[in-house]
Amino acid sequence: MTSFRAAAIQMRSGVDPERNAADLAEYVGDAVGKGAVYVQTPEMTGALQRDRKTLASVLKGEADDVIVRTASALAAKHGIHLHIGSTAIARDDGKIANRAFVFGPDGKMLTRYDKIHMFDVDLDNGESWRESAVYAPGADTVLIDLPFARLGLAICYDVRFPQLFRAQALAGASVISAPAAFTRQTGEAHWHVLQRARAIENGAFMISAAQGGVHEDGRETFGHSLIVAPWGEVLAEAAHADPAIIVADIDPALSAAARAKVPNLKNARPFGLIVENDGEKTRLDVAS
């Protein structure tokens, strides 16, 4: 594996996929101008629309989606690997997928990933979300071999489930990702520590492009796109919520070096869980 320059694009996607696709083209061109050969966009690149009926009315199937079509053309035009963090896709069964894509330098779609974990939460100040009411969850995590690294795909809320990234790391991923549309409230509390923790505990680069600012549908996202090294250093950050492009040089050998210094992936052992209640013990087997 060889060193490469990665870019994370911070966006403020609106409700119109066509307009967001035009913004995408501009941002990708700027990222390539900064020397990036791998470019990542945030969750819901195509549209942030919280009204379910309105969202459904603008959705297309994968073959007709404007973001898919634009991303394929941009990857081929610039000769890069383009990772669409996600966009909403109408499935053949009438449901909606929160789906990521990776395109190769010839414009070919290399892989896709549907977000597994649904953001069903009740936050402070009345903020509540039920992604499961809109989206169908995926079932499988995905790795893709790029010329310069094995990349693990995830989306936003997935970042709170470390077992997903552990499985990717054990399968050889030296770069992991969680492009996101984190709420401002959860981002202020948890974004940085979660991103750095996933990088450190897996000895992997973490690249997460983010949505940022107040969107047309009224939601507010945190921004602060990040690229983190396997030892936990923040290599690049958009330290705000405005649209931006961050870049960093990624050397996959540093992943192997971090794992050699602290070989927690190798040192993990199976263990049981004992629950004691009134002198009685119950033992449960759990994963390492």
**Model confidence pLDDT, tens digit, residues 163-183:** 999 999 999 999 999 999 999
**pLDDT tens figures, 97-109:** 999 999 999 999 9
| Rounded-to-integer distance, Cα 33 and Cα 27, Å | 10
Angle among Cα 223, 226, 228 to the nearest 5 degrees reads 160
- pTM of the shown model: 0.96
Confidence of residue 288 (pLDDT cuts 50, 70, 90): low
pLDDT at 94 over 90: no
pLDDT digits (tens, 9 = 90+) for 254-285: 999 999 999 999 999 889 899 999 989 999 88
Residue type, 224: H
Quickly state the pLDDT bin for 22 (edges 50, 70, 90).
Answer: very high
CA distance 49 to 88: 10
Cβ burial of 15 (10 Å; 0-12, 13-18, 19+) is middle
CA distance 17 to 131: 20
Catalytic residue positions, numbered: 43, 115, 156
pLDDT band at 57 (very low <50, low <70, confident <90, very high): confident
Identify which has the larger pLDDT, 92 or 72: 72
Give the residue-averaged pLDDT of 60-80.
97
From the list 81, 116, 82, the residue with the least C-alpha distance to 98 is: 116
- Among candidate residues 44, 75, 30, 26, the one with its CA nearest the CA of residue 247: 30
**Rounded CA gap, 144 and 103, in Å?**
11
pLDDT-derived band of residue 129, with 50, 70 and 90 as boundaries?
confident
Q: What digits encode the pLDDT tens for the residues 181-210?
A: 999 999 999 999 999 999 999 999 999 999
Whether 146 shows a pLDDT value over 90: the answer reads yes
Query: Residue 59: pLDDT above 70?
Result: yes
Domains of the chain: 4-286 (3.60.110.10)
Of the candidates 249, 236, 231, which has an alpha carbon nearest to the alpha carbon of residue 210?
A: 236
